[in-house]
Structure 1
Amino acid sequence: MLTKLILLYSFSQAGDAAHIQSLEKELSSKLENKEIYSINANESKMKIIKELKDIVNRKESNIKFQKETKYLLLTAGEKGGEALEAISDELLDNNYYIYWGMHQYSAKIKDYKKLKLDHLQIPEASLNNIEKIESVKDIPNVSKTITVPNINPTIKELQNSYDKWNYNKQFDLKKNYITVLLPGDAPDSNNRIHFFSKESAYNLFRNVQNIWKKSNSKKTVIVQNGPRTGKYDPKTGAVICLHEYKTGESRKNAVDKVSEYFVSLLNKNKIPFVFFNFSFEINGKQRIKHSSFDPILFLSYKTKSIFIFPGESVSLIGQLPFYLNPENVIAFYSSSMNEEHKLTLEAAYKNGYLSKFNAKGEIEYPEKPTKLLMDDTTKVANDILRGYNRKFRN
């Protein structure tokens, strides 16, 4: 049997892309005969349908597969759900296995029959009432996870990224640091944007300042923002920063106002810091991502440093405890968090995977610290294979 693995996701949504690409990597090693195709969920309905039909109508060079081809379609996030809804009428036969992964609950889940859904992944904490629990119980396969699948490099891969990093000479692997990942603006399940405000940035600064003072004012603070940090104007909701700059221009053109405000607080209070701005370099039609996240993660892992991260990043809730000890992974409740973010974070805290700041800015450590040994990607990929084989090999 030939499997045509179709990846339908938003190319511009970093979390959805990591979700689908992590599953592709895991499944590719386990599917014996496969072809892999990618479709951008941001495209128009007509273009998505055309690309899907082209994949279906492409004749196999190997005659034995011409009548034994099945389609494993993976999609993720709200954009993926919208695309799935748009093409549902085109999935005319039973040769598809449809997977939809989510980082929070969506009302579209109730339409799983119309979407021809075979498999749903959702953080278990998002199923927080009877109505939501009832809405997923008849879906053929449901993977209830801690967070979401994500690309989790090996320690060797992280070290390679650190060794190639242009800034590694600035750091000493025998010292400790305070790493801060700035929150980003984030939508809730109704697509209403919650903003990372300057007030929230100030609260984060105060928490960082307290930790720095307790270290006898000796530690350097490493700051990395993300593609959603300061993206929207809180007053109008308009997009004001895409973290983009053109080749040849200064990278400072890609820094958002909230990040500038946060690092100005560090500077004003004479706290030593290094700031790395997430950015996209625009070179003609190319959009090249520049992020220091992987080398910074290796630095934190190697030096057993504190890593402060935003609770609105569901993927990080599941990723950081995979590398760092629970007492060093500290979640910050930012203004951009919605209720489902909080539920997922609280579940991870209760499981002992991480620590968190309370309303007073004090660190609360888990009662029973527990190292996360297996990530959601492996679990979900195994669940998909079981469901896929059950549908087509029986």
Structure 2
Amino acid sequence: MLNLLSIILFISVCFPYIRIIPIEGYTQPTSIIISIAILIFYVNNYLINKYNLRILIYFATYGVLLFLLSCYPYNSLQEYKYLMMYISPFFIVTALLISLEYNFQGLVRLLKLSIGIWFFVSILQLFWRPDFATFMIGNWGDSAQDIAVSGRGVMGLAPEPTHHGFHILLLGATLALLDIKNQSFGLVLLCFLESILLAQSSSSLMCLLLAATVTFFIYSPILFISILIALFLIPEIFFVDINFDESNNRIVTLILEFIKNPLDILNSDYSLNVRLAGVFATFSLIFSKFLIPEGLLQTDWLTSREYALESYDWLMGLSFVGPPSGFGILIYQGGIFSLIFCLYFISLICTTKFFNLPYKIIVFSSIFIFFNQYYISASGFSLILAAVLYRKCTLKNI
């Protein structure tokens, strides 16, 4: 029974956008439903102590308290979605760890197969039909043709290219964490390429570049300095008179625009502006309030949103749903206590040992993904957190 539940859970986490239950929002609740079923029958104190899961229990309890204290009369669907960010990691992470303890090799093979399916679907969408297999993600698939015409990347099995790029990077990072013997380098590299060349996500590219910068700075400072020198020299030598309209590839266009004028990149791309500048605006609001918890009431965010748009005239827009940052929304709502949880995740990632730079980069990219507009209620967060805990506590970084 556990084997069947584990397989269903892993499939639901690897393909979180496939529409089984007709609800609003990108992510299906399948993974948390299966996780609860696994916990009811198989959770034990040994597992909780081994992986130090009490911090997830404390975080979930804190989220419930925030909800009860700030969301009366509890009639907003969006506020219940906020609550899921706090409670879903405990259920899904614990269930994934139980599953990995029971059938590690089988689930790693399933992860590899899932990466292959994502790539296969994306290739067919790029070279054959942009709407191939998008019927599985419900109404979100209706925009596939429009997205293709606009010059953005393919959707894969996600509701839009940015979520495609982020999710495939998280799958690659999870595989890197679980691949102790470095036997899956090709598949990890495939995740790199898919996020950039198939999803063509500027946000994914930005996360990878930031992760590469941190990795090179820490582990290869000479290479880091060489890259900085090249970035200063290349525009002067090669790109003085380049015509950006010559490329129909969004990623290529953004790279060339950045090389030509790095300071103007936020004004030239709406998606980057809303996400990257939105992160800045979110943390500006957070620190202006001295990390005091705001609670989960959505109308409080709408008031802060209007203030941010008035204060920063270079912002092209901000989400009505909440702060456009996975970590940012937690710290905005929960203050210093949510900051501690975010630092817990970051410290786990940063203290994990690897034997090659590409693995370091793709795992480090997960930190920057959740600084972006990608909430931790997405099952990808629980997947990578479970993987890093399993690596540290069971595989012992060998």
TM-score range, shorter chain: under 0.3
Asked which structure has the greater CA Rg, the reply is: 1
More strand by share: 1
Give the structure-2-normalised TM-score. Answer: 0.25
Name which structure has the greater RCO, CA cutoff 8 Å, separation 6+. 2
Give the structure-1-normalised TM-score. Answer: 0.25
